[in-house]
A = this chain, B = another copy of it.
């Protein structure tokens, strides 16, 4: 006679990732599950939130990269940054920046001028329409974020923010600059 045990519900908050970790720990008991679990949850949280935000923005016909560019310019002194500065803010390659700028320019959100002090550089300026658009989007994004996190205790959110800052200050040093 054999008995089959069906765990009605795994303990507390065990999620799908706990099962995956369990597998690897079974394969190699010496494995450090803490760092591996953190990596997986970080990645998954990021993907889910990004997907949710993308859906949210799709209703307004906005892409993530568009927001990223518009917001960076919105924060810039004089609503203006060089293409290189935008590159460093967003962390994408120079080729990507060129493409993004062309598309933003077509929509009339930004203007491109050559810097007269150093004619190698391109100065990108947010137009009035672009500024209006940015203001509109920041509200949408903020609301969406608030809604997404509404199920988590405020205390947890604040602790997460603080701990992630600690993580960032640690790994930012080792890695090539970006923003």
Binding site for B on A (CB under 8 A): 13, 15-18, 20, 23-24, 31-32, 34-39, 41-52, 75, 91, 138, 142, 145-146, 148-149, 151-152, 154, 156-161, 163-175, 178-179
Contact = CB atoms under 8 A, between A and B. Distances in A.
A69 to B, nearest CB: 14
Contact of A148 (B51, B159, B163, B171): B171
Nearest to A27: B138
A26 B124 CA distance: 23
Contact of A167 (B45, B170, B171): B45
Contacts of A149: 35, 38, 167, 170
Nearest to A44: B168
Given A13-B165, A43-B50, A149-B35, A160 B157 contact: no
Contacts of A171: 45, 48-49, 52, 148, 151
Contacts of A172: 15, 48
Contacts of A146: 32, 35
Contacts of A17: 165, 168
A22 to B, nearest CB: 10
A164 B41 contact: yes
Contacts of A170: 149, 151-152
Nearest to A151: B170
Most B-side CB within 10 Å, residue of A17, A51, A170, A178: A170
B49 A145 contact: no
